[in-house]
Amino acid sequence: FFCCTRSMTTAHRPTWDPAMATNSSRGTAISQQTCARDQPAQLDMKLRQDGQDTSEEVRRRNLREELEERENKHYAKRKRGDEDKRLESKRIKYEKPTVPSVTKTIERKYQNIDADDEDESENDSEDESDDDDSDEESDDEEELMKELEKIRKERMQEQQRQQEKKEKEREEKNNQALLTSNPLISMGGDVGGDDYSVEKKWWQDTVFRNQAKEIQQDESFINDSLRNSFHRKFMEKYIK
């Protein structure tokens, strides 16, 4: 014989002793939970390594001497750059003289040596050359002005031609619209418009139309799948 004792469940009873977050035998109660990103990553103080200006290395260094050395290098480099620029400008000035400067120097030298007659002849020749240069410059200016005037006239003619073309196209379009459009339909709009919609009156809306043509009869409920109204409508729509 087996003796079997049954005890009623306690699931319906209220929790008089609620489960606290402690290590108890009440089940898998979580005592502590921490996110991985919330945990401390560095628990020890980071110190400078060798070669990272530690206190001992800084104590052994002569900072004043290093500063003076850097300043001397900077000023020497700057001075050398200024000297190079000065020499370069002097070389450009004296090593490669331009042709006009050479000619002027030669003319000045011979002017001091030659006699007064020769000076006068040279002055006359210079005046003639200056006159020729001025004449050539004036001719060039006249040609440029003529070319500019020609370009300006061509632009004005092209602009006038484009404007006349647009006016002609607009006139042809209006004439075609007058010949083909219906003035009764296009009334109130532009001539030749494509909008043929007619504005309705407020009383022509669907809500106010066809209200008394059909009299709706009350449908009575019939508890028969073959004689009810739904079956009859279905047969009339899809079978007949």
Q: What is the pLDDT of residue 55?
A: 84
pLDDT at 162 over 90: yes
173 pLDDT more than 80: yes
User: Residue type for 13, please?
Assistant: R
8 Å CB contact between 181 and 192: yes
Which residue pairs from 184-192 have beta carbons closer than 8 angstroms and sit at least 24 positions apart in sequence? none
What is the pLDDT at residue 205? 77
Task: Kindly state the average pLDDT of the residues 56-64.
Answer: 85
Q: Is the pLDDT of residue 167 over 90?
A: yes
- pLDDT tens-digit profile of 97-154? 554 555 666 566 656 655 555 555 556 565 666 666 666 777 788 888 888 888 989 9
Residue 12 sits at the vertex; the CA angle it makes with 27 and 31, to the nearest 5 degrees, is: 20
What pLDDT, on the 0 to 100 scale, is given for residue 158?
93
More confident residue, 34 or 194: 34
**Predicted local confidence at residue 2, as pLDDT:** 45
Q: Cα angle vertex 211, ends 207, 217, to 5°?
A: 125
pLDDT class of 42 with cuts at 50, 70, 90: confident
Average pLDDT over residues 169-192: 70
Confidence at 71, pLDDT banded by 50, 70, 90: very high
Q: What is the pLDDT of residue 1?
A: 44
Domain ranges of the chain: 97-178
